[in-house]
Amino acid sequence: ELRLVVRSGQVTCPLGSFPAPGLNEGEAAILCLRQRGVRLLPVGQGRAGRVLHARFLGDAVQLEIAVEGLDHPLKARVRESDAPKRGTDLSIEIDPSRVLVLPAARTDGT
């Protein structure tokens, strides 16, 4: 999850720009990414990243990927056969169909 602000009908972060339907200009929003929505690409074909950790989950592997501009590692879930090793440099791309942009919870209790 990333906390962002809607500008011109979308939210923008180091991972790209994504539509924010139903949200108003200047409204606080939360960008939610499904782990399977992170596509792994060869170096130079997307946003640069480096695999920090890979955790075996049976038929899948959960990766933690450092991406420039993000405060925390990005989590991705891939098939075991597609999982790069720790320390691998790669590029990532986000599948926009696996993104949700939601209004941020209000802090005033309403």
Please spell the DSSP secondary structure of 15-64, one letter per residue: TEEEE-TT--TT-EEEEEE-GGGEEEE-TTSSEEEEEEEEEE-SSEEEEE
pLDDT digits (tens, 9 = 90+) for 19-72: 999 999 999 999 999 999 999 999 999 999 999 999 999 889 999 999 989 999
CA separation for the pair 3, 107 (Å, rounded): 14
Tokens at 30, concatenated:
């939360």
Of the candidates 95, 75, 76, which has an alpha carbon nearest to the alpha carbon of residue 16?
Answer: 95
- pLDDT (0 to 100) of residue 107: 45
Topology annotation, domain 2-103: OB fold (Dihydrolipoamide Acetyltransferase, E2P) (2.40.50)
Q: Say if residues 50 and 87 touch (Cβ distance below 8 Å).
A: yes
Q: Please check the confidence at residue 83 and state whether its pLDDT lies above 80.
A: yes
Cα separations (Å) of 25 from 17, 22, 102? 15, 10, 13
| Average pLDDT for 5-31 | 96
This prediction's pTM: 0.85
Residue 93 phi, psi dihedral angles, 5° rounding: -140, 145
